[in-house]
Structure 1
């Protein structure tokens, strides 16, 4: 498997005999936090928080995202620990639900009530759980998808999230559907883009921006749908497609199209947060030191196109 520059290859723990050991719970938590940090630090991201400021948000900035990511470290560690000691089933799903709700409270305390990483906590929490004890990427994703499909009978009744309201209103897959389907925008879109770019010698941040843009061009992002409806989603998807058609973030014309898209998303207060969460998920999967090399999922990138 080819990794983009700086992806964490070479950090694998070893066991006697020279083979790589399964990643520990502590390492999985560290990798999840690192993925969140690196997604936050990446820029310029259209409409999203980065080193330039809050993007389409007026209640968050880069230091807040970094603090939120660090606050979630013990949550991811607890998720990995639970997954190592509990068989995959409804009992584990309900324990992960409890940990996720506790993690949401941890995040809100760290950010003074700002929802910085709720979607990422869901996606990365499942992938951390799936990776615990998995032999390779394929198995880790498959386990995460099985967990997402199981019921959480302890889920308290309450108000729907903005993303769930948007999912129901517009009839799209949403975060849970993405997970149940095996994270197709991660494994069929973002990861192949990252790895092709890495194999071609592209700069790391250019590869990551182009992976983000490809997800943005395809995803029915409920963060965008909540704020801008179908027209807002069309603006995001067409704008991202235009950047890629101009050669991507690494070309002069592509960078100009990227900055134009950023200006438009900021002016319309459109934040493709779902795409950002899935980029973080792709970074996580690519940085995990799997015990066995993965041949990939075998699915085609076009599976995500509508």
Structure 2
């Protein structure tokens, strides 16, 4: 039973990562059709990275399936995540394809495994992620004014006060659990590709994506949120008259090197949780 759970969680994580990079239009993200807004990576770079990360997601699932206290589990998984990052950079020759994904999906896998170990309900996963990451923003984003060699996330926190993926984790990824998961699961009639793009649009309409803030500015982020929200509120792919605007938004992002990388991570988490819920709960 233990091995079945661990391997199934790893399977769902790998599927989620491949699904995320396989949908199109993807609004500046890498896909099989285009490298989007990225000149240093393509679809095969992501496949290479995904295969390198598979073993570490299995290790995270194993770490979560435990009676250990949450702080010990989280510390263990952070160590595994650091190893996963190194493996990613080796496989991609220094290209960052999945650093955010390792954190986001890693938390999803670990919390899901712990919930299955404790025989708790699916709705407890978000709460567990909150508990596991309590205080992470304060502990990792404080006293930055005197620090040198700031990361992109740290610079954005200083400039905009946006805590990025750490802040999303600390509140339990509500964009995913309270919104995107239902959007994705309710649109099965659209077919797999369009379901993914629909969910991505929904996430872009709400997410304060620090990847965009790093490469551009707050106005660019607000503009993308506004356009995405308009498309979702008017039905997205359920409204055929939106197809031109959806493609135009994709072209706009590619032409202006806008890439919603943080939204991509949340999309993968959405897919992972959808598969988890359908299989285990």
Where in structure 2 are the equivalents of 1:94-173 lying within 5 Å?
94-134=75-115, 135-149=120-134, 159-173=149-163
Q: After TM superposition, give the deviation of residue 217 of structure 1 in Å.
A: 0.8
Would the aligned equivalents of 1:22 and 1:291 in 2 still touch at CA under 8 Å? no
Residue segments in structure 2 that go unaligned for 5+ positions in a row: 141-146
Tell me what 1:80 maps to.
Answer: 61
Q: Distance in 2 between matches of 1:75 and 1:88?
A: 21
Would the aligned equivalents of 2:122 and 2:277 in 1 still touch at CA under 8 Å? no
The root-mean-square deviation of aligned C-alpha atoms, in Å, is: 2.4
Structure 2 length normalisation: TM-score?
A: 0.88
Structure 1 length normalisation: TM-score?
A: 0.81
Name the SS for the 1:137 alignment partner: coil
Tell me what 1:11 maps to.
Answer: none
Q: 1:232 aligns with which of 216, 220, 232?
A: 220
- When structure 1 is superposed on structure 2, of 47-56 and 166-175 the one drifting more is 166-175
Q: 1:219 aligns with which of 207, 222, 228?
A: 207
Name the SS for the 1:288 alignment partner: helix
Would the aligned equivalents of 2:136 and 2:170 in 1 still touch at CA under 8 Å? no
Q: After TM superposition, give the deviation of residue 246 of structure 1 in Å.
A: 4.4
- When structure 1 is superposed on structure 2, of 138-147 and 207-216 the one drifting more is 138-147
> Where do 4+ consecutive residues of structure 1 move more than 6 Å?
none
Q: Distance in 1 between matches of 2:178 and 2:275?
A: 17
Q: 2:173 aligns with which of 169, 174, 183?
A: 183
- When structure 1 is superposed on structure 2, of 129-138 and 71-80 the one drifting more is 129-138
Q: Distance in 1 between matches of 2:196 and 2:136?
A: 34
The verdict on how the C-alpha distance between 1:115 and 1:86 changes in structure 2, with shifts beyond 3 A counting, is farther
Q: Distance in 2 between matches of 1:202 and 1:181?
A: 30
Q: Distance in 2 between matches of 1:190 and 1:207?
A: 11
Alignment partner of 1:36 is 2:26: no
Cα distance per residue 1:235-280 (max 9 Å; x no partner): 2112212322443135432121111111211122110011111010
Cα distance per residue 1:186-213 (max 9 Å; x no partner): 1112101112223xx3322222211110
Q: Distance in 1 between matches of 2:158 and 2:29?
A: 24
The verdict on how the C-alpha distance between 1:51 and 1:250 changes in structure 2, with shifts beyond 3 A counting, is farther
Q: Distance in 2 between matches of 1:74 and 1:166?
A: 32
Tell me what 1:195 maps to.
Answer: 185
Would the aligned equivalents of 2:101 and 2:265 in 1 still touch at CA under 8 Å? yes
Q: Distance in 1 between matches of 2:69 and 2:184?
A: 30
Residue segments in structure 1 that go unaligned for 5+ positions in a row: 1-14, 16-20, 294-306
Tell me what 2:250 maps to.
Answer: 262
Would the aligned equivalents of 2:64 and 2:73 in 1 still touch at CA under 8 Å? yes
More helix by share: 2
Alignment partner of 1:285 is 2:273: yes
Q: Distance in 2 between matches of 1:254 and 1:72?
A: 36
Name the SS for the 1:46 alignment partner: coil
Tell me what 2:143 maps to.
Answer: none
Q: Distance in 2 between matches of 1:289 and 1:278?
A: 16
